[in-house]
Amino acid sequence: MEDLEIDFKPTFDDLNQIKSWGSNLDSNFSTILQSLNSSDLIVAKYKNEIVSYFACSKKEVTIFISLAETKKEFQKKGIAGTILKTLITHFKSSHFKAFYLYCSPQESQYFWTKVGFKYFPKDSDHRKIFMYKIFGEVKSPEVCNDVQFKDYIEIWDKEWPDKNETPKWICELEFKKGSNELLKPILFFGNCKWQIKVVKNNTLKILRYKELDRNSEIYECFYIPII
């Protein structure tokens, strides 16, 4: 859409424009205001009129999209997709690695799927529909197969799997020379209580992800830069 401007520094006047849309903003206004105050509200303007917005919240290495809405008469014109592409470009070289959100209304999942979001694994302990999109330089586990690695991490989809139950995902551990730092950090959206197995230098350790680094404050995903 031509003449569309993406603004990372909206004002309170812009917020009043959004409020005038007359949508279900009364219950969401505090969330939008919080995003504005933390400089995490991004708006799209067409001829100086606010036509769409993303209200975000920055976590440790992820960005939670709390709300996203486009003014009714400007919907289905690719505006939200343009905001998302601009956000990815903006944060691509930062320490942030991914977006995540939950679908409200649930029908919004079809839009998010179109722009590349994926569903959290089943049994992630979420009753809502959560989705994510990775844009940073990371390594993601893959479904377990017959490939063997010297150093690796395996992930189950539950906290206490049965003794003979096989893991669901595996990821090779590749380190920077002479270091415990991984070439690329591992990023995986799942339940922080799920069991993992780490095999490194012929040493095996079984624990839950949240026990891997007790100083970590990252709970919405598995994020492992050093092991």
Q: How high is the pLDDT of residue 125?
A: 59
pLDDT value for 1: 72
Distance, in Å, from the CA atom of 217 to the CA atom of 169, rounded to the nearest integer, reads 23
8 Å CB contact between 23 and 75:
no
Q: What is the DSSP letter of 121?
A: P
pLDDT digits (tens, 9 = 90+) for 93-148: 999 999 999 998 889 999 999 999 999 997 665 678 999 999 999 999 999 988 88
The class that CATH gives domain 4-134 is alpha beta
Residue 48 CB-half CA count within 13 A: 1
Q: How far is CA 122 from its chain centroid? A: 16
Q: Where are the domains of the chain?
A: 4-134, 142-226
26 pLDDT above the threshold of 90: no
Helix axes 12-19, 29-37, angle to 10 degrees: 160
Q: Cα(227)–Cα(221) distance, rounded to whole angstroms?
A: 16
Q: What is the DSSP letter of 119?
A: E
Residue, of 112 and 213, whose pLDDT is higher: 112
Asked whether 141 and 155 are in contact (CB, 8 A), the reply is: yes
* Confidence (pLDDT) at 114: 96
